[in-house]
Chains A and B, each alone.
Chain A
Amino acid sequence: MDLFFHYDFMLRALVGALVIGLAAPALGIYLVQRRLALIGDGIGHVALTGVGAGLLLNRSPVLVAVVAATLGAIVIELVRSRGRTSGDLALALLFYGGIAGGVMLVGLSDASSGSLNAYLFGSLTTTSPADLVTIAVLGVALLVTMLALRPALFAVCHDEEYARVSGLPVRALNLLLAVGTAVTVTIAMRAVGVLLISALMVVPVATAQQVTRGFRATMAAAMALGLFAAGAGLWVAATADTAPGASVVLLAIGSFLVVALLAAGRRALRRRTRPAPAPVAEPPEHEVVLR
C-alpha cells in the first residue's frame, strides 16, 4: 500500500482512478437502462479524433477531446431521437470516422505512437497534476449531476413518452446525458483508454443488477463496485506490474463473473428448497414455502 504514498504519480493515478471508478457507473446506469450500453465506445472513438487534433495543434489533447466527444455525443443523440431507421448506420459512420480521423491526425502530428497508445489503452501513471484537477473537477460535477437529477433522468430513460407527457424537458435531459457521456469518456480515457471505456460505465452496472431489486440500489452498488475495481485494479497493476487500465477492467469483469455465479447458485438453491410453483396466471403474492 505505501507504494501509493511513496510516489506522487502513483497517488495521482489512484485518486484519478477512484474518481472515475465512482463517476463512470453513475452515468453508465442510465445508458444501460436505455439499452445504449455501447454508446460510450462510439463516443470514445470520436474523442480520439479530438486527441489527434489536440496533438496536431499543440493544445491539451484532453480538452480538445472533451469538445470533440461532446459534439459527437450531441450528433449521436440527435440521430437517435430523429432518425429511427438508419440510426445504427449513422452511428457506425461516426464511430469509424472518429477512430480513423484520430489515427490519421495523431500520425500527422509529431507525437510518437506511444502517445496514441496512451489514449487507446490508458496511461494512469502519467497523470499530471493538471490532468488530475481536470479529472476531479469534471468527475465530481458529473457525479453531483447524475445523483441530483436521478428521478428525472430515471423517468426519461425508463419511459421517454411518459416523461414527455409529464412536461419534463426531455430533449435537454437527453442532451445532458449525451454530454455527460462525452465527459466521462474523456476523463476515463486517461485511466482505461478509449478501447476500454465502456467497461467502467457498463460492467459495474451489469454486476450490480444481478442481485439488486431497484434502480437506486443498483446505482449505489454499481458505484461501489466501480470504486472497488478502480482501487483494487490499480493495486494489482502496481504490485504485479501489469497495465493499470486492463487490470481495472479485468477486475470489474472478474467481479461480474463471481457475482453472476453466486446469484445463479442462490437461485438454484432456492429452487431446490421450494417446490416448483404450479402454473398460474397470476403469480402468488410473495409466498415462500420452505420445507
Chain B
Amino acid sequence: MNEPVIQVAHAAVGYDGRSVLRDVSLTVTAGEVVAVLGANGSGKSTLIRAVLGLVPLGAGSVTLFGTPQRRFRQWHRIGYVPQRLGAGSGVPATVGEVVASGRLARRGVLRPPGRADREAVAAALRAVGLADRAGDPVATLSGGQQQRTLIARALAGRPELLVLDEPTAGVDAASQEAFAAALRAFRDGGGTVLLVAHELGPLRPLIGRAVVVHQGGICHDGAVPEPAGHHAEPGHDHVHPHCDEEPAGLWSM
C-alpha cells in the first residue's frame, strides 16, 4: 500500500446554510490518477476546493501528505490548476510570467528568481508544448492554450500532487492531446493526480480510478464507468454516470 497523499474523512461543506457536500470520505495514495466525476452542481469542484482549503469544512477532516490540512505548510508539494484564468486582469502578463508564479511555492516570497527557477519554467512550458509562446501575452492565447499555461504553472513548481479542476472543459482537441501527454509524463514520473472532469476525452486511458459525486455524496468509487445510453454514441465522451434516478433538481443548482 502506497503512502496516502490525500485523506478526506466525513467531510461536509455548506454555503450559506445550504449543504453542498455531506459525509464525504476519500483517500488518494501516491501514484494514483483519480478522476472526480459528476454532473454540474453535484459538488465535485467543491470537493477538491475543500481538499485544498479554498472552502472551509463544516465537519470532518482533510489530511494532506499525512499532515492535517490546517497545519499543512509544504504547499510546494501540490500543484493546483484552476478551471480557468481569473476574469482576466487589466494588466497584460506574458505566458512566461504566469508560469513563473508556479515557482513561488518553492522559492518563497522574498528570494528573487534564480537559474533553477528559469529552467523549471522553461521545462514546464516545453511539457505543455508552449515553449515558443513564453513571451506572448496570455490574453492572446486560445482557451486551450491558456489552460495549458495554467498546467505549466502548476508543473513549474515540480509538485508531487496535481489537483486539476475541469482541465479539459471547453478545450480544443490539440490542447487536450497536449494536456494528456503532459499529465502522462507527470504520472510516469511518479506523480499523483486528482482531477475533476465533466468529460474525460483523451484523458480516459490515464485514469486509474473514478469517484462519482452525486448530490453531495460519493456514490461510486472504483473503475471508470462506461458511458451508457446516448452517451456511448461515437463522438460523445460525456461521462456523468447515473447513480440512482436523477431528480429533476440535479441540473438546477
Contact = CB atoms under 8 A, between A and B. Distances in A.
A34 B113 contact: no
A158 B102 CA distance: 12
B172 A281 contact: yes
A287 to B, nearest CB: 12
B35 to A, nearest CB: 20
B26 interface: no
Interface string A210-226: 00111110100000000
Contacts of A162: 80, 82, 101, 153
A168 B175 CA distance: 29
Interface residues of B, number: 47
Nearest to A211: B92
A213 B157 contact: no
A166 interface: yes
A283 B140 contact: yes
A161 B92 contact: no
Contacts of A286: 132-133, 136
B73 interface: yes
A285 B132 contact: yes
B224 interface: no
Contacts of B113: 151
Interface stretch (B1-9, B83-91, B199-207): B83-91
Interface string A178-208: 0000000000000000000000000001000
Interface residues of A, number: 39
A212 B92 contact: yes
A162 B164 CA distance: 12
Given A166-B75, A281-B142, A213 B92 contact: yes
A16 B47 CA distance: 53
Contacts of A163: 101, 104
A167 B74 CA distance: 8
Interface of B: 52-54, 73-76, 78, 80, 82, 85-86, 89-94, 96-98, 100-105, 109-110, 112-113, 132-133, 135-137, 140-142, 144-145, 153, 157, 163, 172, 174-175
Given A213-B92, A216-B97, 4 more contacts: A154-B101, A155-B101, A158-B101, A165-B54
18 contacts: A33-B90, A34-B89, A151-B103, A155-B104, A157-B89, A162-B101, A166-B157, A168-B105, A169-B109, A209-B91, A213-B137, A214-B96, A214-B137, A215-B93, A281-B142, A282-B144, A286-B133, A286-B136
